[in-house]
Structure 1
Amino acid sequence: MENHILLSVENLTVRFPGFHHTMHAINGCSFEVRKGELLGLVGESGCGKSLTSAACMGILPANAEVSGRIRLGEIDMVSAGEAELASLRGQKIAMIFQNPMTALNPFFTVGRQLTDVIRRHQPLDKKSAYSKASALLNKVHLPDPDIALKKYPHQFSGGQLQRIMIAMALSCEPEVLIADEPTTALDVTIQAQIIVLLRELASTEGLSVIFITHDLSVVASLCDRVAVMYAGQVVEIATTEQLFAQPLHPYTQGLLQSVPEIGHGNAPLFAIKGSVPDLRQPLSGCAFVSRCQHCVSQCYEQAVNMSTIGQRQVRCFQAEGVLASFNREVANG
């Protein structure tokens, strides 16, 4: 994998003003994606994963107040105009969604929809665009691509539709692909096939993928690095191996403890106590403080910035102590 950074999100903040209060949806989110990398963006529902991806695509609602920087190459997606964003979507950055049936138009064939996307961004005639569409369906391993192009979305299974959406996202050869929980609606066998396909495309096409999910098992089998989100902030970034071996942030530890383990029978499942903070109020101190078993007075009083520990980053005052304790345990066997 190359170290060249394709997408950089720096201190992203998204607010939604209302009559009685302002929703502080994203609160200083930062991460980066390198060429050929699969980055997992994980966290519970409502933590801001999909909103962050929408900001990266430049498709936030009109009433959103955005600050910070989202750099795609040399372009800042936050300050770019709508015409520039429209030209970037598809060619530089693309997205696949959770439910492909709602993302495709039921009144047009798959071939019509694929060729329309291709011709929107590339100077090709109908025949050349059709040939490219067929080649794309073949690339994502959809059987009989020429026949598939003549069918309508309802004539495909969920897994086949997701392959079509991936082909559509790749049609203009983007550098970054955002996959917003693309396997959630699929059964386990089809999930595995989509995961293998994304890994293959990252390897053969040099494609960078942001994989948004709450399923840690998918992250473990697919991603190179993981960014964990909580209350609109990234609280930990590490390689997949590091994160699963020794999570440093208490929220990450809680997420991993919440995963059911085979062989534990009727043992009660672990649950993180408490609830997420009210995002109608500005955060003061650590966002996780009300649910954390290791907090100290500093956690209530001071804003917590991301700190770098080795090759990983974490938003926690206690992180260095946690890592030192883990290293002592490993050294002592």
Structure 2
Amino acid sequence: MLRRWLTRRAWTPRWIRATLALMLTSVALVWMATPAPSGASSPPLAAETPQPTPTPPGPLKADGGAPTTLPNAPLKSPEPPGAGNPTTSFPSSPPLVAQGMALYQNGCSSCHGILLQGQPGVAPSLIGVGAGPVDFYLSTGRMPLDNPREEPGRNQPAYTRTEINALIAFITKVGGGPPSPAANPAAGSLAVGFHQFVDHCAGCHQLVARGGLVVGAYVPALQQATALQVAEAVRMGPYLMPHFDAKQINQYQLDSLAKYVLWTRHPSNAGGWGIYNIGPIPEGIAAWFLALLALVLVARLIGERMTTE
């Protein structure tokens, strides 16, 4: 049937076919160039349970310093916030520490050791990591991990917010470490955040933070990340991700980076159809296929098949 339709002689007059082809082409161009509705282009800032508190200027050595140099230490040391930069405080009390100890013994010690010392080839030590990495891995559901040799991915958190606070209280009480960073998207710039993301993040996470694949790892999408989790990941560098100190990404740039990541939840597609914002290469492929299909249809509408006598 398709072959008969493609090879039959056109019955429509030429001027009607030419007018129809011109109208279809115009409609297609207008549709592709029409901006998408941008009423939600600036996503609401996610409320976070822990609230940032100012840290007075000065060295952070007294807060725990770098992770331990003992065996099983993490390959990367979490970077502390810069001097005078805001930090995120978590509740701590003797009952909360006791609760965290019970939770740790039941859900964490089999891999990380009873005294946070870790196990070679299984899990790193948690001595000196501080609150940021603990909150990041637990609040994103990346820990506990069923198989310690798998890449931790975002899941539904296994613990409630109170239980996470208890684990943070216990681990920081026993192991110490730098305070958790903070990010305030309202204090940042979307343009600066975009440039920082392009420079430091887009190579793996894709330009609109939809994630992707790299050698030896899966790069997660960031649409579910909160501002605090963005700050914690930047300073800690989870899994294969590099970490950045306050000299590489200062507090204003960190605020801006968090603002941009939150914006990617509902980006403004100024060019029209965003195709789920999966990147320029898939978008280009889709455009080529659509263009080829449109050319075939237009050619069939305005052309004629000549039959041999």
Shorter-chain TM-score bucket reads under 0.3
Which of 1 and 2 has higher RCO (CA within 8 Å, sep 6+)? 2
Determine which structure has more spread, i.e. the larger CA radius of gyration. Answer: 2
Which structure shows the bigger proportion of residues in strand conformation? 1
TM-score by length of 1: 0.25
